Amino acid sequence: MEKKAFVTKEMIEKIAEKYPTPFHIYDEKGIRENAKALKEAFAWNKGYKEFFAVKATPNPFLINILRDYGCGCDCSSLTELMLSNAMGVKGEDIMFSSNDTPAHEFEYAAKIGATINLDDITHIDFLEKTIGYLPKTLSCRYNPGGYFSISNNIMDNPGDAKYGFTTEQMFEGYKILKAKGVENFGIHSFLASNTVTNDYYPTLARELFELAVKLKEETGVHITFINLSGGIGIPYRPDQEPNDIRVIGEGVRKVYEEVLVPAGMGDVAIYTELGRYMMAPYGHLVTQVIHEKHTHKEYIGVDACAVNLMRPAMYGAYHHITVLGKENEPCDHKYDVTGSLCENNDKFAIERSLPEIQIGDIVAIHDTGAHGFSMGYNYNGKLRSAEVLLKEDGSFQLIRRAETPEDYFATFDFSDFHFGK
């Protein structure tokens, strides 16, 4: 897949006059087109709903775009719940999927009417003791253990994951919940991350649909929804091909009709909790070259760092890089592209073939629309950058200001320390 930036050098130069680099920029047009395609791909299921994974890109301006297409919010913490509630997202449009969950987070989720997805069988008693009752609708997260494979290819290792109920615990847990008065049950599972194959969702769906039929037959519970969670990935590398969401939706439909419909479960709603797929391709981290260094290697220093995009430093993840204005020049130079943190892994690229780069060049780092800004932190006292929305009409809008030193020092406001500018 050819990687092209959705911005030009001229566009960024104009934006940077008002909002200096580094900053994250998002493509409204791309976000809307993708959300529309997802909705159409699952339109065959009357109850279908996408609960956007807020953790991926917790920005209300962007989430509101998705709400135009019927999306809800998948939350994993108190502040994500608070953000969703502040936006006016209704309780039934919020899915709370957490683990090692503090009592006060369960309390708040119940207060706003969010659907709670339990991560462990012990959380049944914990939730009941915490809020004094069990909601009429509850979901449980399933982890079958072992390895998750597609066509003999191992995709991930659920057996090594801290999440979810075992198979035996699902049956035991649903019996307990039914006896305690729960009426509507959901099944949730997340077995592989960032899959670049059209077969992941249909394969997962078959496993969960067959489990749902057995749960209904053996426990008598009413399964109202099955949540396929996330896992649909994107092609970070140019040699990867993107998933086809319409093919994926059709694959899930076929399995639905093969497994659930004959079992009298043709009313089960399908939910998804996509984050990366919904946003990642439609975000760039824009940064300017401020230094070059010629030692044992050729280094290009930019004004962004791992504070702005952690994935390359944390996972060794590949993010494509475009030098704006030099898209058609030969990539005949090899560079390590680095940030300024006091950590040697603060590199956006290692020995990457790029056009010849000069100080002042503007670089767009691709696929940062999810798990980009949201994974930011303040190591070395670095401040998180602004977020900008490139609107459909070509105009741009600030959707999060850059942090200031005052923000950084705000948690000392109880003290006698005074931090000068």
Alpha carbon separation from 18 to 1, 14, 284, 376, 407 (Å, rounded)? 33, 7, 18, 22, 20
DSSP state of 45: S
Torsion angle of C-alpha atoms 48, 191, 319, 97, degrees rounded to 10: 60
Cα-Cα-Cα-Cα torsion 264, 268, 274, 279, nearest 10 degrees, comes to 110
pTM (predicted TM-score): 0.95
pLDDT for the residue 145 = 78
Distance (Å, whole) CA 198 – CA 181: 39
Which residues of the chain are in CATH 3.20.20.10 domains? 28-280
Are the beta carbons of 273 and 226 closer than 8 angstroms? no
pLDDT of res. 218: 97
The domain over range 28-280 is classified in CATH as 3.90.920.20: no
Instruction: Take residue 137 and report the two structure tokens written for it.
Output: 């609708």
Rounded to whole angstroms, the Cα distance separating 391 from 322 reads 21
Residue that has been written with the tokens 């190591």 in this structure: 379
Q: What is the CATH number of domain 282-412?
A: 2.40.37.10
- The beta-carbon contacts of 207-214 under 8 Å, at least 24 apart in sequence, are 207/144, 208/142, 209/255, 209/256, 209/259, 209/260, 210/259, 211/142, 211/167, 211/170, 211/187, 212/187, 212/260, 212/265, 212/268, 213/259, 213/260, 213/263, 213/265, 214/171
Backbone φ and ψ for 281, nearest 5 degrees, come out as -65, -15
Asked if residue 73 lies in contact with residue 89, where contact means CB atoms within 8 angstroms, the answer is yes
**Closest C-alpha among 196, 280, 279, 187 to residue 231:** 196
Residue 14 falls in which region: left (phi positive, over 0), alpha (psi -120 to 50) or beta:
alpha
DSSP line for 186-216 = EEE----SSB-STTHHHHHHHHHHHHHHHHH
My answer on whether omega of the bond before 330 falls inside 30° of 0, hence cis, is no
Report pLDDT for 370: 98
Cα 111 to Cα 48, 63, 129, 406: the distances in Å are 25, 22, 15, 33
Determine the pLDDT at residue 344: 96
* Residues 377, 391: Cα–Cα separation, whole Å: 27
Predicted pLDDT at 193: 85
Residues of the chain with CATH 2.40.37.10: 282-412
Tell me, what's the pLDDT at 151? 53
Q: What is the pLDDT along the chain (421 residues), one digit of tens a residue?
A: 899 999 999 999 999 999 999 999 999 999 999 999 999 999 999 999 999 999 999 999 999 999 999 999 999 999 999 999 999 999 999 999 999 999 999 999 999 999 999 999 999 999 999 999 999 999 999 998 777 666 546 556 776 778 999 999 999 999 999 999 999 999 999 888 899 999 999 999 999 999 999 999 999 999 999 999 999 999 999 999 999 999 999 999 999 999 999 999 999 999 999 999 999 999 999 999 999 999 999 999 999 999 999 999 999 999 999 999 999 999 999 999 999 999 999 999 999 999 999 999 999 999 999 999 999 999 999 999 999 999 999 999 999 999 999 999 999 999 988 887 6
Nearest in space to 167 (alpha carbons), one of 181, 197, 183, 187: 187
Q: Which residues contact 414 (CB under 8 A, 6 or more apart)?
A: none
How far apart are alpha carbons 229 and 51 in whole angstroms? 9
